[in-house]
Amino acid sequence: MRRLTSLDAFFLATEDARTVANVSALTILERKRANGRRLTRHAVKSLFAQRLHLLPPLRWQLAEVPLGVAHPSWVDGEVDLDFHIREFALPAPGDDVALAEHVARLAAEPMNRSRPLWEAYLIHGLSDDRVALLIKLHHSAVDGVSGGEILRTLLDESPHGRELPPAPARQTEPVPNRLAMLLRGVADIPRQQIAAVNAARPALANLDKVATIRSLPGVGQIASLAGRFSKGSRPELAAPPELVAPHTAFNARITPNRSLALLSLPLPEVLQLKQAHGATVNDIVVALCAGALRTWLADKEELPDETLLAMVPVSVRTAEEQGTFGNKVSTMVVALPTDEANPVGRIRACRDSLLQAKQQQKAQPPNLMQHANDLVPPVLFGSAMRTVLRLASSRRLNPAANVVISNVPGPRTPLYFAGARVLANYPVSTIVDGMALNITLFSYLDKLQIGVTADPELVPDVDLLARALVNELELQVSLLKPAKTKRR
């Protein structure tokens, strides 16, 4: 058995009738495989069966602790591939708009907690002789980096697959009964208390750096006071400008509904901007998002005078922790120059704000989010987390941030699934109360593939935001080209 950390458990605790913590990848594939046969559900099941021993999170079944006296555990249980792997066909004409609508609905559906928390859907009926594979995972089991490890295990660099390590003889763990789990939980209480004591000093002194609660009243004062009494736990850096997120229509309580826009941007043009401005790919990505948000909101006459803020996930997983799955993540809060009319100025401002955010993030404890969660006893954890998120999304307070922006680098070489060539790989992320908009990017081959996830009740025009991203890149690239002079 493997106990969930408090950060893993956080993603379970956030779920309710309106919120799910599913993170998904939508892979677009050629319909025909290298052997000339079509990709079928049977072929998908066979590949998962052959690689299941390399994919622990796909075998993990949740074992809850009665009365919540400890966080749940993962049990290496039975996997019914007939249950987890499904298929359906899109109605004609099978365009990308219909695909996005169906995927948004599936991504918003909660998963059965009595089974391992994953699902896969083979989607037929796409135009241009394509199929799609949607893989849903739960954030309690994987973060962005470990989710990428699962995809790399399922995909190959050759259409003919690769040699796999032999599967060891596996004995599944039975899920303990309620009494056994209760006894385990009670026995775990001393460890919880030690963890809370160890977490108190770094967590309290940096409480205002925890992105999800930074806007709550009193958090800054607690951090300042704890820092004074705990010398060295709060690094002395130049004080950053106070970052306060303005209110927008998408910073409110969400509904159960989701919308999704899928788009691709040419990576060579992004790299061209990177080179021209002495920036990083992430700088350019954030600047494109800032420009697109500015245009989109201005067109609706909803652009705030203040800069928007983005919450940017950051992996804190060490090399030794690769392959351990679970969550090893922190966040940065980054000012988006949505108040800057000059496109070049937006890139410079993003470069500066990201550099400052990185310096602040490196100065804080790498496991700050987990330390903060460790302060809350498991018996109170679920209700406490939901209360905090409800308060943080209140219209009476400024949002913690306005939008989530995440950029996940991917391979520049072709990949294959069961012999079928991968044409594109789109992320489908999650939204929460107070932040009903998420922009996540995967790079693959010469494209940046983007999934914009939103609540359609709060963001009814997510397609226009996607279009604004395309237009912003075209604008920025056009400014690199020297103006043509007229011949005399």
Active site residues: 139
Rounded distance between C-alpha atoms, residue 33 and residue 330, angstroms:
39
- What does DSSP say about strands 259-266 and 447-454: parallel, antiparallel, or unpaired? antiparallel
Q: In this structure, which amino acid lies at residue 438?
A: N
**CB–CB of 307/338 below 8 Å?**
yes
Q: By C-alpha distance, which of 152, 164, 162 is closest to 413?
A: 152
Q: Which residues does residue 123 pair with via DSSP β-bridges, in sequence order? A: 88, 132
- How far is Cα 283 from Cα 280, in angstroms, rounded to an integer? 5
327 to each of 2, 171, 213, 322, how far by Cα in Å? 13, 26, 19, 11
For the chain, give the secondary structure using H, E and C.
CEECCHHHHHHHHCCCCCCCCEEEEEEEEECECCCCCECCHHHHHHHHHHHHHHCHHHCEEEECCHHHCCCCEEEECCCCHHHHEEEEECCCCCCHHHHHHHHHHHHCCCCCCCCCCEEEEEEEEECCCEEEEEEEEECCCECHHHHHHHHHHHCECCCCCCCCCCCCCCCCCCCCCHHHHHHHHHHCHHHHHHHHHHHHHHHHHCHHHCCCCCCCCCHHHHHHHHHHHCCCCCCCCCCCCCCCCCCCCCCCCCCCCCEEEEEEEEHHHHHHHHHHHCCCHHHHHHHHHHHHHHHHHHHCCCCCCCCEEEEEEEECCCHHHCCCCECCEEEEEEEECCCCCCHHHHHHHHHHHHHHHHHHHHHCCCCHHHHHHHCCCHHHHHHHHHHHHHHHCCCCCCCCCCEEEEEECCCCCCCEECCEEEEEEEEECCCECCECEEEEEEEECCEEEEEEEECCCCCCCHHHHHHHHHHHHHHHHHCCCCCCCCCC
